[in-house]
Amino acid sequence: DWKMQDVLEEEIRVINGMVGSDEHVICALSGGVDSTVAATLIHKAIGDRLHCVFVDNGLLRYKERERVMSTFERDLHLPVTCIDASEQFLSKLKGVKDPEMKRKIIGREFIAIFDDFAHELEQKLGKRPTFLVQGTLYPDVIESCPPPGSGRTHSHTIKSHHNVGGLPKDMKLKLIEPLKLLFKDEVRTLGSILNVPDSFLKRHPFPGPGLAVRVLGDVTEGNALEILRQVDEIFIQSIRDAGLYDSIWQAFAVFLPVQSVGVQGDQRTHSHVVVLRAITSEDGMTADWYYFDQKFLVDVVRKICNNVRGVNRVCQDITSKPPATVEWE
């Protein structure tokens, strides 16, 4: 792909121009395509002056930390420090129901952790890292900060994506956003030029605030996160087994903080409702819901109800974007 080969060379020039020859860069890896490609790109440009960090915020999917860490180390040879900050995040989110507030708290915690990591790195290197890499894409930029003349103003901002703007004034790290002019498919092409494994490039997008935007309301209530992880894993595994993973832009489960009446055996149950959402999309800005065949849905619902304690009802979200967004919060 000539165009992306040019983009790659231009990016490397820009990165080397921005980052002085003895400056150090921090990159937060989320386990998604964007931050992985961004890190690989920066690594190619500046080598070992890149320092990656992976934060477990307690809002990751089933076994995600183990899975992504092994891929970073085994396949990509990226130097990554793994920080378990689950308790820190979840204690700050306790009792918080407002979606924007949840996003803001998570964004703030991420920044605080990066800042700490930078301080520790400073001790180790004897000098302070100066840059922070973010895998922001073009659609994130236009949704959070619409271009002039688009007819959308800041008051129309749809959701405060934690990874765009909003950095505190005392933040001592400068931002590098090497993907900010690219759409998702371009990032994947760039990644394949950079030899990022296919399994990584084809991963569905996952939001920075993680499962917090998929547990409606207070994420710490009951065992919502645990239930959601199990349902999500069954859904995604079924999609993979059916060979549908690559035809779907994004698929996930949502946990609703309501209970419905059901019956299992002779027992009346009063358990949670979960929602399955799968969409097709070009760039995440608009989306259509994905049409599963009946047998697939029957099997998934049976597996979920038989295997996940605390769930007695499964719904499918068949709303496109617009009017709905992809995530529920």
Window contacting ligand XMP (CB under 6 A); options: 42-50, 75-83, 155-163, 220-228: 155-163
Identify which range of 10-18, 58-66, 147-155, 206-214 contacts ligand XMP by CB under 6 A: 206-214
Is residue 277 close enough to count as binding ligand XMP by CB under 6 A? no
Q: Decide if residue 99 touches ligand XMP (CB under 6 A).
A: no
By CB under 6 A, name the one of 58, 129, 209, 217 that touches ligand XMP. 209
325 binds ligand XMP (CB under 6 A): yes
**35 has binding-site annotation:** yes
**Residue 250 is a binding residue for ligand XMP (CB under 6 A):** yes
Give the DSSP H/E element, type plus range, for residue 254: strand 250-264
Kindly state the smallest distance separating residue 288's Cβ from ligand XMP, in Å: 13
Minimal distance, residue 244 CB to ligand XMP, in Å: 17
Residue 241 burial class via C-beta count within 10 angstroms: exposed 0-12, middle 13-18, buried 19 and up: exposed
Least Å from the CB of residue 317 to ligand XMP:
12
Instruction: Report the distance separating Cα 49 and Cα 124, nearest Å.
Output: 13
Task: Point out which residues pair with 53 in neighbouring strands.
Answer: 28, 81
Candidate residues 31, 228, 284, 314; the one interacting with ligand XMP per rule CB under 6 A: 284
Secondary structure (3-state) at 175: strand
Q: How far is CA 289 from the centre of its chain?
A: 20
Distance CA 189, CA 208 (A): 22
User: In whole angstroms, how close is the CB of 143 to ligand XMP at the nearest point?
Assistant: 6
- The stretch near ligand XMP (CB under 6 A) out of 49-57, 171-179, 202-210, 263-271 is 202-210
Distance of CA 181 to the CA centre of its chain: 19
Q: What angle do CA 46, 199, 5 make, to 5 degrees?
A: 45
What residues from 10 to 69 belong to the interface with ligand XMP (CB under 6 A)? Answer: none
Let me know: does 40 contact 191? Beta carbons within 8 Å: yes
The verdict on whether omega for the bond into residue 168 sits within 30 degrees of 0, i.e. cis, is: no
The piece of 2-10, 156-164, 214-222, 299-307 that touches ligand XMP (CB under 6 A) is 156-164
**Piece of the chain touching ligand XMP by CB under 6 A; list 79-87, 93-101, 115-123, 207-215:** 207-215
Q: Would you count residue 208 as binding ligand XMP (CB under 6 A)?
A: yes
Task: Tell me the C-alpha distance between 221 and 173, whole Å.
Answer: 35
| From candidates 162, 229, 272, 313, binder to ligand XMP by CB under 6 A | 162
- Pick from 297, 137, 157, 129: which is nearest to 208 by CA? 137
Q: Is the peptide bond before 322 cis (omega within 30 degrees of 0)?
A: yes
Helix, coil or strand: residue 223: coil
Smaller CB separation from ligand XMP, 89 or 301: 89
Out of 161, 214, 277, 313, the only residue in the binding site for ligand XMP (CB under 6 A) is 161
The SS3 of residue 90 is helix
Phi and psi torsions of 295, nearest 5°: -65, -40
> Is 33 marked as binding a ligand?
yes
Q: Residue ranges for the binding site? A: 30-36
List binding-site positions for ATP.
Answer: 30-36
Q: Which residues bind ligand XMP (CB under 6 A)?
A: 103, 159, 161-163, 205, 207-209, 250, 284, 321, 325-327
